[in-house]
Amino acid sequence: MTTFPLKLGYKASAEQFGPRQLLDFTSEAEDCGFDSVWISDHFQPWRHTNGHAPFALSWLGSAAERTKRVILGTSVLTPTFRYQPAIVAQAFGTLGALYPGRIILGVGSGESLNEVAVTAAEWPATKERLARLRESVELIHRLWTEEMVTFNGQYYHTLNATIYDKPEQPVPIYISAGGPVAAKFAGRTGDGFICTSGKGDELYRDQLLPAVEEGAKAAGRDPSAIERTIEVKVSFDTDKARAMADTRIWAALALPAEEKVTIHDAREMEKRAETVADQAHRRWLVSDNVEEHVEQVGHYIKLGFTHLIFHAPGDDQSRFLQLYAKEILPRLRQRWG
């Protein structure tokens, strides 16, 4: 039985900041005592105006050189449309060889916002996206563990493919899931499971976490060996009004999932988001009270998550990092660490 220690990470928001700023925030997060830093892998941001979308794979190499200790991962990368999975295997094989024990490949089934602009393909239904994800993860695993890989899948094919620079220490693959089918897959195959906060306890308690366990048991695996990771959206500040206002830039997250899934233009996403800007705060833990906020965050630890990645919406990320390091991280570790 595996018991994971509590880990507290920082989300480097590539949709909101440029690559150099994100490096500075990452270095500061390490200095502030965060355990991990995760970057989103977007081709387009959630909003066109003042948006950013630096390339996660090249950025990870810079971030790893800039830091010494923090774990670095993608939350999440889609290895199924604009990337061929063998190229993902090569890229993360190299990162794993350069920075052993510090790299995690977080993967998901994708969003049209990032994939359609690059491929001009019709965005497929959930069933196909999950099938592609399963196949890509299988291929990546084989390329990391076998000498020559000829792969004839439904979607991907290789012929005597070899990754010449494999990491001696395997790069963990964490699988994101917003529903029980993908969560079962994470349990069957993943080293970790990733989801996002703010969607109601019933989803996590009654669907996602039980599905991870079910998938693991069905595959003959120990469910406790899968790290439960959640990206927690937090807007904490000494000024409650400021904390509330900061969430508006992320109004797109308040759109219904079925509405977002087919939008592949950042300008259209921004336009739709404006219609729900007053509801943006609903996806965030908003507070100006230390003990209240510790309880808000601790709720996810009580649900069973052991690796929390904090995503803060404000423009002044240094203010967030310093405040969180002083007031929140020590209290979380004291109570649940």
Above 90 in pLDDT, residue 2? no
Q: Which residues make beta-bridge pairs with 227?
A: 192
Above 80 in pLDDT, residue 37? yes
Looking at residues 278-293, what average pLDDT do you find? 94
pLDDT in tens, 39-88: 999 999 989 999 999 999 999 999 999 999 999 999 999 999 999 999 99
Residue 277's pLDDT band (boundaries 50, 70, 90)? confident
Strand positions, DSSP E, the chain: 7-12, 36-39, 71-74, 103-107, 149-152, 157-161, 173-176, 192-196, 227-236, 285-287, 307-311
pLDDT in tens, 240-263: 999 999 999 999 988 888 788 889
Mean pLDDT of the chain: 96
Above 80 in pLDDT, residue 11? yes
Q: How far apart are CA 232 and CA 234, in angstroms?
A: 6
> Which pTM does this prediction carry?
0.96
pLDDT at residue number 257? 80
Above 60 in pLDDT, residue 198? yes
pLDDT at residue number 262? 83
Sign of the torsion angle spanned by Cα atoms 179, 180, 185, 191? positive
Above 80 in pLDDT, residue 337? yes
pLDDT at residue number 279? 86
Give the single-character DSSP code of 101: T
What's the token pair of residue 217? 């048991």
Residue 1's pLDDT band (boundaries 50, 70, 90)? low
Residue 224's pLDDT band (boundaries 50, 70, 90)? very high
- The residue among 259 and 310 whose pLDDT is bigger is 310
Q: How many CB atoms sit inside 10 A of residue 82's CB?
A: 17
Q: How many CB atoms sit inside 10 A of residue 61's CB?
A: 16
What is the residue type of 193?
A: F
Looking at residues 148-166, what average pLDDT do you find? 98
Domains of the chain, earliest start first: 7-336 (3.20.20.30)
pLDDT in tens, 127-138: 999 999 999 999
Question: Which residues are catalytic, by number?
Answer: 42, 111
pLDDT in tens, 86-138: 999 999 999 999 999 999 999 999 999 999 999 999 999 999 999 999 999 99
Looking at residues 284-296, what average pLDDT do you find? 97
What is the residue type of 237?
A: D
Is residue 306 classed as helix, strand or coil in its secondary structure? coil
Q: Strand 149-152 and strand 157-161: pairing?
A: antiparallel
Residue 278's pLDDT band (boundaries 50, 70, 90)? confident
In the chain, pLDDT over 90 holds for what percent of residues? 91
